[in-house]
């Protein structure tokens, strides 16, 4: 089944590469088209001083069974290291541990009742398994009801601002519920610490190894190749257009963000195209500071102070041994951006000026001669926002265009956008394609041009 059937995969992020691997294992002939000059997408790397450094901080949780399975299957398990994460909270100039549920219950900025209610929220999320119920409750209402005003103002409100910028009013409780469940999934027992893993040379180590496996199965990767259009004839996807030339395929699978896909399908049903086009996403502005010495003892330091433009300090070299990155210490200073955020238009220089002002305020004794580089990274389509009562607007793998399949982080809801969910979703796409493939009737190749 499926032999010799040709599939074009658009997008060479972790979802596209996993999809290619699984489809090739099923006997399909697969080509992957990636706009960028290397694979990985959001999980890709930037070259620096002969190193490959994750563009954005990436870790793989011990409970990410799909990702851990891929690491083993692709032969890079020997490059994986597990570490207990350390998280902190920055409040009014002080740093606090925020690791185990016990830390939550002893968190000094809260009084005993507020701590108790915060703990209750974490426990409540573990026992609530009906996410549809969560989806009709505004996130603020749910947090205020269980945690109370005090814990909400000191903990949840800053965390919501960090994750959703100005858009938290629009989102349902599902988002925090899902995060709390993912966070607790990596722990055993109330005093245990979160376990995270990293790969030497970053996330790209896995992507590169998977791509090699793909190539052994006959997959070809086409980098620096932006697909211009998905060619649709009589309601069917029959190929893709590249630099004005049409390449015929039996089926097309897109892993692009919905608004990008909507621009590639002028001949798809209008309501489908419009639904994809109006999907909103948060972007991210994420400078990376390359340092000569350690800044903080935590992997993540959450920031509650609204005057500071970045919302966390993420020092990945507290997970990744600096010896794997020539002794550098890597610190990311992210800020998620609402689609209309004015910060999206800031120049790199402006970002550096504003970020460094706050950095000095937070770490007044840090010796700036230790700073080697300040590199600004950005992405536009990072975290889809699903407002309440819009579940009917989530697209399906099988689109209204025959032989056009799609997958992206909009569709993994209520799971969160991460490698685990993306690779699981790729498997669902494979299952659908395998079922449909016998019904694809080959069309005569279309004329190029
Ligand atoms: C700051 C940050 C931190 C994160 N931390 C983690 C973490 O710790 N752990 C974790 O698991 N996940 C993390 N994530 C999330 C993770 O990166 C994403 O969920 C995952 O990479 C999404 O993969 P994808 O393949 O679905 O999409 P993408 O990576 O967006 O891939 C889509 C690809 O399509 C390509 N493309 C676009 N248009 C075209 C076109 N016309 N033709 C051809 N190609 C095109 C793009 O270049 C891109 O490579 C983080 C993300 C960010 C931004």
Residue 449: pLDDT band by 50, 70, 90 thresholds?
Answer: very low
Give the three-state DSSP class for 6: strand
Pairwise CA distance, residues 398 & 429, whole Å:
9
Q: Are residues 137 and 169 part of one domain? A: yes
Domain annotation covers residue 303 = yes
Pocket of ligand 1 contains residue 261 by CB under 6 Å: no
Atom of ligand 1 nearest to the CA of 39: 49
Closest residue by Cα to residue 165 from 375, 289, 343: 343
**pLDDT tens, residue by residue, 413-429:** 888 889 999 999 999 99
Task: Indicate the residue among 147, 172, 192 that finishes a domain.
Answer: 192
Domain annotation covers residue 63 = no
Domain annotation covers residue 225 = yes
Pocket of ligand 1 contains residue 99 by CB under 6 Å: no
Q: Are residues 260 and 311 part of one domain? A: no
Q: Are residues 378 and 293 part of one domain? A: yes
Q: What is the CATH number of the domain that holds 350?
A: 3.90.660.20
Q: Are residues 310 and 269 part of one domain? A: no
Q: What angle do CA 342, 346, 348 make, to 5 degrees?
A: 155
Q: Are residues 299 and 269 part of one domain? A: no
Residue 3: pLDDT band by 50, 70, 90 thresholds?
Answer: low
**pLDDT tens, residue by residue, 54-84:** 999 999 988 899 999 999 999 999 999 998 8
Domain annotation covers residue 37 = yes
In the block, tokens 């004015």 appear at 342
Domain annotation covers residue 94 = no
Task: Indicate the residue among 192, 227, 261 that finishes a domain.
Answer: 192
Can you name the residues that pair with 143 across neighbouring β-strands?
none
| 150's tokens | 């005090």
Residue 54, judged by CB atoms within 10 A of its CB (0-12, 13-18, 19+), counts as buried
Q: Are residues 397 and 273 part of one domain? A: yes
Q: Are residues 410 and 359 part of one domain? A: no
Phi first, then psi, for residue 71 (nearest 5°) are: -60, -45
* Total domains, the chain: 3
Q: Are residues 333 and 301 part of one domain? A: yes
Pocket of ligand 1 contains residue 283 by CB under 6 Å: no
Check residue 244 and give left, alpha or beta (phi > 0: left; psi -120 to 50: alpha).
left
Domain annotation covers residue 67 = no
Domain annotation covers residue 336 = yes
pLDDT exceeds 70 at position 128: yes
**pLDDT tens, residue by residue, 269-317:** 999 999 999 999 999 999 999 999 999 999 999 998 888 999 999 999 9
Q: Are residues 368 and 393 part of one domain? A: no
Buried b / exposed e along 430-449 (16+ C-beta atoms within 10 A)? bebbbebbeebeeeeeeeee
Helix ranges (H only) for 254-412 are: 258-263, 270-277, 348-362
Phi first, then psi, for residue 64 (nearest 5°) are: -80, 80
Q: Are residues 266 and 294 part of one domain? A: no
Identify the weakest region by mean pLDDT among 61-65, 188-192, 204-208, 382-386: 188-192
Pairwise CA distance, residues 165 & 99, whole Å:
24
Pocket of ligand 1 contains residue 259 by CB under 6 Å: no
Pairwise CA distance, residues 158 & 336, whole Å:
12
Give the distance (Å) from ligand 1 centre to CA of residue 420.
12
Mean pLDDT in residue range 371-378: 97
Give the three-state DSSP class for 14: helix
pLDDT exceeds 80 at position 2: no
**pLDDT tens, residue by residue, 10-24:** 999 999 999 999 999
**pLDDT tens, residue by residue, 204-214:** 999 999 999 99
Pocket of ligand 1 contains residue 115 by CB under 6 Å: no
Q: Are residues 286 and 226 part of one domain? A: no
Domain annotation covers residue 91 = no
Residue 396: pLDDT band by 50, 70, 90 thresholds?
Answer: very high
Give the distance (Å) from ligand 1 centre to CA of residue 256.
9
**pLDDT tens, residue by residue, 97-126:** 887 767 777 888 889 899 889 888 888 888
Res 185: pLDDT: 63
Q: What is the CATH number of the domain that holds 245?
A: 3.50.50.60
Residue 188: pLDDT band by 50, 70, 90 thresholds?
Answer: low
Domain extent, residue 212, equals: 6-58+202-279+387-439
Rg (CA), the chain: 23
Q: Are residues 339 and 311 part of one domain? A: yes
Identify the weakest region by mean pLDDT among 33-47, 182-196, 212-226, 279-293: 182-196
């Amino acid at each position: 089944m499926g032999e010799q059937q040709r599939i074009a995969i658009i997008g060479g992020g972790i979802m596209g590469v996993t999809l290619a691997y699984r489809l090739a294992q099923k006997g399909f002939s697969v080509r992957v088209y990636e706009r960028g000059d290397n694979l990985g997408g959001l999980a890709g790397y930037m070259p620096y001083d002969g190193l490959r450094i994750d563009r954005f901080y990436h870790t793989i949780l011990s409970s990410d069974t799909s990702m851990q399975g891929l690491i083993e299957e692709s032969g890079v398990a020997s490059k994986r290291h597990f570490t207990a994460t350390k998280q902190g909270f920055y409040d009014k100039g002080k740093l606090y541990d925020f690791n185990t549920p016990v830390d939550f219950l002893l968190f000094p900025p809260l009084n005993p009742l507020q701590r108790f209610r915060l703990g209750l929220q974490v426990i409540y999320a573990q026992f609530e398994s009906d996410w549809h119920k969560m989806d009709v409750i505004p996130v603020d209402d749910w947090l205020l009801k269980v945690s109370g005003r005090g814990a909400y103002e000191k903990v949840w409100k800053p965390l919501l601002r960090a994750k959703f910028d100005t858009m938290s009013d629009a989102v349902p409780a599902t988002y925090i519920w899902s995060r709390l469940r993912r966070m607790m999934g990596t722990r055993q027992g109330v005093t245990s610490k979160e376990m995270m893993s990293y790969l030497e040379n970053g996330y790209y180590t896995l992507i590169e190894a998977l791509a090699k496996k793909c190539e052994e199965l006959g997959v070809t990767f086409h980098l620096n190749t932006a697909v211009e259009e998905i060619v649709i004839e009589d309601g069917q996807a029959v190929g893709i257009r590249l630099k004005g030339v049409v390449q015929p395929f039996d089926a097309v699978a897109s892993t692009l963000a919905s608004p990008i896909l909507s621009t590639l399908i002028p001949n798809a049903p209008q309501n489908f195209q419009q639904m994809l086009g109006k999907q909103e996403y948060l972007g991210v502005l994420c400078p990376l500071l390359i340092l000569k010495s350690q800044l903080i003892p935590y992997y993540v330091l959450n920031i509650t102070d609204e005057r500071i433009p970045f919302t966390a300090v993420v020092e990945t070299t507290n997970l990744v041994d600096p010896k794997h990155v020539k002794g550098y210490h890597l610190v990311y200073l992210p800020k998620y951006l609402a689609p209309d955020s004015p910060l999206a238009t800031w120049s790199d220089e402006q970002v550096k000026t504003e970020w460094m002002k706050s950095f000095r305020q937070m770490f007044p004794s840090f010796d700036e001669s230790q700073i080697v580089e300040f590199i600004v990274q950005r992405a536009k389509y990072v975290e889809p926002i699903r407002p309440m009562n819009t579940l009917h607007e989530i697209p399906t793998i099988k689109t209204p265009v025959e032989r056009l399949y799609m997958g992206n982080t909009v569709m993994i809801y209520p799971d969160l956008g991460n490698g685990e969910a993306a690779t699981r979703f790729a498997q669902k796409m494979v299952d659908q394609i395998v079922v449909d493939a016998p019904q694809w009737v080959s069309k005569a190749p279309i004329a190029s041009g």
